[in-house]
Amino acid sequence: MKKHTELLLFKIGLTLLHLIAFIVFIAGISMLYTNDNFKKGLSWMNSETYENSPAFMAQFESDINDIFSYVKYKNAFEGNGTFSLDSEIFSINIAPGKDPVYTLRDIIKYAKLHGYYINENYKADFFKQEDEKSSSDTKNNNMSAAEYKTEAEEANVSNSIDEDIESPYTSYLVNWRAYNPDNKLKEPGDAYMSIDKLIRESLDKLGDYYSAYNRLILNPTNIKYRLVYGDDIYTNDENLNDETLYNFGKYAQVNSENMIINNNLSKVPQNISLLAAELSEGTESRYNVMVAVDTEYKVKDQYYFGRLNYLNQRNMYFNGMVLTAVGLIIMAATIIMLAYFAGVPFINAKDRRVYAIDKFGIEADIVLCILSIMVFLYIGEKAGSKFLHVYLAEENWRFGEKLMQYIFVYACVFFWIFSVIRAIKAGIIWDCSLIKRLKDELGIYEKKQSYKNGILLKFAVYLILNIIFIISISTLGANESTLIQRFAVTGLIILCIFVNLAVFHNMYKKAIQTDKIVQALRSIAEGDTAYKLDLSEFNGREADAAKSLNNIGLGLENAINDRVKSERLKADLITNVSHDIKTPLTSIITYVGLIKRENIVNEKVRGYLEILENKSNHLKNLTEDLVEASKVSSGNISVDMARLDLAEMIQQTNGEFEEKYAQKQLDIISEYPNVPVIIWADGRHLWRVLENLYNNAFKYAIKGSRVYVSIIVENDYAVFIMKNVSENPLNISPQELTERFVRGDVSRTTEGSGLGLSIARSLTLLQEGNFEIQIDGDLFKVVLKFKIVSESDEDDESNESGEYDE
């Protein structure tokens, strides 16, 4: 029991360790997959820096776009170098001679009146919900000029745009747009736009301008730029020029005189040449554009935090790889160990334990594994994904769902693979497989049996008849045109039904006969050898089988009677011979005792008398053992079961043999509970069992050794264990030791009769106990088991005794 518990705790520990390693592995995979540098491997950690990373280049190219956006929209939204609401943004043609010009102030006023604003991404947005906006757009699209002006008046807000236009969704000819002075039309319709669309476009350009202005001018930044177009210079660092450009960590320079981009970046920015050329388009001025990043990162801007994030990503990637490797190694180690101990009840056990699911067969295991995976994936799709969406950011939803699916697959495979491993280790993987079962089922067709040939022939005739009936009925039924043909079809159908009913009746009759034969076999197996079958109820091969079965029953009955008679004769012979030997043997022992009382001077004669006395007593014990063994084997012995305290009885037995054991310097080491251990047994027979076991230890244990005696309570059973080390080699099996006249001392130098253990075993079984001998080298061990009397048994006993007294 202790060994079972130790191994169980060890397996639980391994499983928990595997679970922890699996969690570590999942954490490592998550850290790698969600990392910005996923799929780069370990090489980038040694060679790549933030300045050479794609993240740096993405930020650099984004800033280049912002720089040119600022320069492009600077003249549109600024006046005298500062942001001005009076800047003229666009002009439209409403009517001949009516070309109003709208300033930034007009645009902002109109936007506020109609619910527009610039969101956190610096894009034009609308305050109302999409459905409200859509209904509003539909309403306004269908609104007449008078209705629109009436609505503007009801808002009690004066706006120059509202005063000029008929409807914000009416298209007008656009004269010019300050933020797009070089607009090129691809077709005539591109020159017309609605006020609403112009406002949205203007707000988007204002957002782009303000984003670049906030990023590059208003706040300190590590990126420096200088754009020179003829006499116009745009810069956020007056110290940046052709000489100081190279003092910065990273830079890029392009001019109108050279096609090559001067840079020290890991990747040439693709947008700088195009943007620089677009800004100079329509002018003859030369340009020189330089953009640089101070890689000392003195200012805490996007580059500063980008570098911190990059370093954190590197650390996270490294930690993720370490966790993945460590988790994978521990998982592999624990799986190997769990597979080694799978099906093992305790350490060093030779037997293997299997469960019901292990006997399904490997094919069934595979199908059940796939089904369980499908069930868990369905649950994950319907419920698990919703749970993940609560805790994960939206960009990680897909990864979380995939990871959850892989976890479900792994858990199902992990469960079922150990079922297969236990079956393999127990050696039942092939015997329980569906292929083996199918092979065995189909194998009956390969056996050469005459009965099989008869069945096949009958089935073939039955099948052919049915095919003929079906074809005939189908043919006649399809072509019937006369009354005779209809009668023929009807007759064939009736004949077909009759033939099939006759076949069914014969099969049912054979099944009844088979059931009777099975019942007879069951009765004979249970000991009723006089059971006979009525042969008139059988026919064919079943009749032959019934006749043979009756003959088997008769033969078994005669054999059992002969065996009983032989056993009785042997028992009588042993009893009579033992009785006849006992009478003169008693006289011999008596006269030897009388002679010893005489004062015999001759030492040699006294020695002869000692030998004669010992041999006489040995012969007397042997005779008594023969008589008792004969009674036990013939069942001619009574058993008086009662409640006994096994611990108390062992205590008494130790006291009885203590003086005798001292002759061979044997020490009895006892261990039993301090509380009573009550069992059902016959006190007289149990004493004989213990006497034989203690005498056996006295005869065969090494002189000067120890004899261990213990009582333990295990699963409602009292277990008595006696151990000693044999003086002679125990080159014999435990089963042989319990046979009659078999002794552990092969040389037969001791005085044992070879009946002691056999009698002890028979008496133990007679008392409904369990007797077991275990041999490990020269260690001899006897284990007795008796069921402990429970409280319910005691109550039943008291109730029965009360009824008896009345």
pLDDT in tens, 485-530: 677 778 878 888 888 888 888 888 888 888 888 888 888 888 787 8
Report the C-alpha gap between 468 and 511 in whole angstroms.
27
CB 750 within 8 A of CB 617: no
Between CA 251 and CA 228 the distance in angstroms is 16
CATH architecture of 640-797: 2-Layer Sandwich (3.30)
Structure confidence at residue 134 (pLDDT): 42
Q: Where are the domains of the chain?
A: 31-221+301-319, 223-296, 354-434, 448-525, 640-797
3-state secondary structure 73-137: HHHHHEECCEECCCCEEEEEECECCECCEEEHHHHHHHHHHCCEEECCCCCEEECCCHHHHHHHH
Q: Is 644 in contact with 755 (CB distance < 8 Å)?
A: no
> In this structure, are residues 786 and 712 in contact, taking their beta carbons and an 8 Å threshold?
no
Question: Which candidate, 334, 353, 335, 330, places its Cα nearest to that of 343?
Answer: 353
* Cβ pair 164, 77 in contact under 8 A: no
For 530-552, how does the pLDDT look when each residue is reduced to its tens digit (9 = 90+)? 888 888 888 877 888 888 888 88
- Tokens matching residue 264: 């020290």
Assign 776 a pLDDT band (cuts: 50, 70, 90).
Answer: confident
Give the pLDDT confidence of 565-591 residue by residue, as tens digits.
776 666 666 666 666 676 787 778 787
The letter for the amino acid at 58 is A
Q: How far apart are CA 762 and CA 771, in angstroms?
A: 9
Q: CA 279: distance to chain centroid?
A: 65
**pLDDT above 50 (res 346):** yes
Express as a percent the part of the chain with pLDDT over 90: 10
405 alpha carbon, distance to own chain's centre: 14
Which of 72, 194, 66, 204 lies closest to 137, judged by CA? Answer: 194
For residue 796, the surrounding DSSP H or E stretch is helix 791-805
668 pLDDT above the threshold of 70? yes
Judged by phi (left if over 0) then psi (alpha if -120 to 50, else beta), residue 645 lies in: beta
Q: Rounded CA gap, 325 and 498, in Å?
A: 75
Check residue 188 and give its pLDDT: 64
- Give start and end residues of each alpha helix (H) in 598-682: 603-634, 646-662
Q: How far is residue 440's CA from residue 386's CA, in Å, rounded to a whole number?
A: 50
Closest CA to 61 of 208, 312, 274: 274
Closest CA to 61 of 294, 205, 272: 272
Task: Give, in degrees to the nearest 5, the angle at Cα 266 between 260 and 272.
Answer: 45
